[in-house]
């Protein structure tokens, strides 16, 4: 089963906890144990697992901005001025595979699935493949 999650972003850089949305799709599937593969098809977005705490999310923003600053003269900027977004996405990942137990993602106490918008605002889609195993 493949489910789609629509994510309308509001800012150029935005970190969104999509854990409840993924768990909702797992519930819809009726699968109690298995695996969820979560994937974003956009080259200027990414996914990661970490704590959904405002200070940490600001630290992530500052970390990515310091590693890959906007407007540094990247060659891709000649096309559409978003090379920094593409490069930041390379540091993260477009997909995650997470076990399902008791009908929800098997995450640690402080873990959340975070969607990273790196070139918004835009309407984005995340796909969730849910397999029973």
Condensed to tens digits (0 to 9), the pLDDT of residues 34-70 reads 999 999 999 999 999 999 999 999 999 999 999 999 9
Contact status, residue 96 vs residue 47, Cβ threshold 8 Å: yes
Q: What share of the chain is helix, strand, coil (3-state, %, to 5)?
A: 30, 35, 35
Strands 2-8 and 123-132: antiparallel
Residue 130 has pLDDT above 90, yes or no: yes
Instruction: Determine the Cα–Cα distance for residues 110 and 102; give it in Å rounded to an integer.
Output: 18
pLDDT score at 133: 87
Peptide bond before residue 121 is cis, with ω within 30 degrees of 0: yes
Residue 110 has pLDDT above 90, yes or no: yes
């Amino acid at each position: 089963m493949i489910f789609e999650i629509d994510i309308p972003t509001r800012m150029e850089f935005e970190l969104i906890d999509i854990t409840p949305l993924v768990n909702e799709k797992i519930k819809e599937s009726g699968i109690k144990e298995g695996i969820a593969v979560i994937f974003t098809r956009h080259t200027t977005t990414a996914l990661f697992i970490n704590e959904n705490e405002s200070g940490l999310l600001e630290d992530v923003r500052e970390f990515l901005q310091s590693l890959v600053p906007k407007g540094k003269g990247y060659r891709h900027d000649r096309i559409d001025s978003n090379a920094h977004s593409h490069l930041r996405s390379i540091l993260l990942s477009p997909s995650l595979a997470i076990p399902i137990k008791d009908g929800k993602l098997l995450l640690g106490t402080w873990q959340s699935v975070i969607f990273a918008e790196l070139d918004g605002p835009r309407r984005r889609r995340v796909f969730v493949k849910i397999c029973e195993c």
